[in-house]
Amino acid sequence: MVDTDTFLTTLYVMVDDFCKDELEPASNKPGQQASLSRSEVVTLAVYGQWGRFGSERDFYRFADQRLQPAFPTLPDRSQYNRLVRHHCAAIAAFSMYLG
C-alpha cells in the first residue's frame, strides 16, 4: 500500500503535467495572488474525492491537520472552497483525463 505522501506527490506531478500540457495558462487576475496554485487546488480536490472522507469538512480537517507540510499555504476552509469553485473546469478536465 502506498503512503499518503507518496500518493499525493505522484498525484501532484500528474496534475501539474496535465495543467501545463493540456490547459491554457492560468489567468493572472489583478490583486493578491491565490494562496494555492491551480495544480495544488486540483490535486487536493481530486484527493478529497477518494472514499476515505465522509464529507468535504472531513477532508478539509484532514488536510489542515496532516497535509500542512505538503501544502504550507493551505488557506482557511472558505477560501479553499472558493478556489475549488474557481478551478472546477480544470478539476473536471483532469478527472476526465484520469478516467
Predicted local distance difference test score (pLDDT) of residue 2? 79
Sign of the dihedral through C-alpha 2, 94, 23, 43: negative
Residue 77 within a domain: yes
pTM of the model: 0.91
What's the average model confidence in pLDDT over 17-34?
A: 84
pLDDT at 32 over 80: no
Q: Report, in this order, helix, strand and coil percent for the chain, each rounded to 5.
A: 65, 0, 35
What domain count does the chain have?
A: 1
Residue 48 within a domain: yes
Residue 25 within a domain: no
What's the average model confidence in pLDDT over 59-76?
A: 96
Residue 76 sits in which domain range? 4-18+36-98
Higher pLDDT among residues 40 and 34, named by residue: 40
pLDDT at 71 over 90: yes
Are 62 and 4 in contact by the 8 Å Cβ rule? The answer is no
What's the average model confidence in pLDDT over 68-88?
A: 96
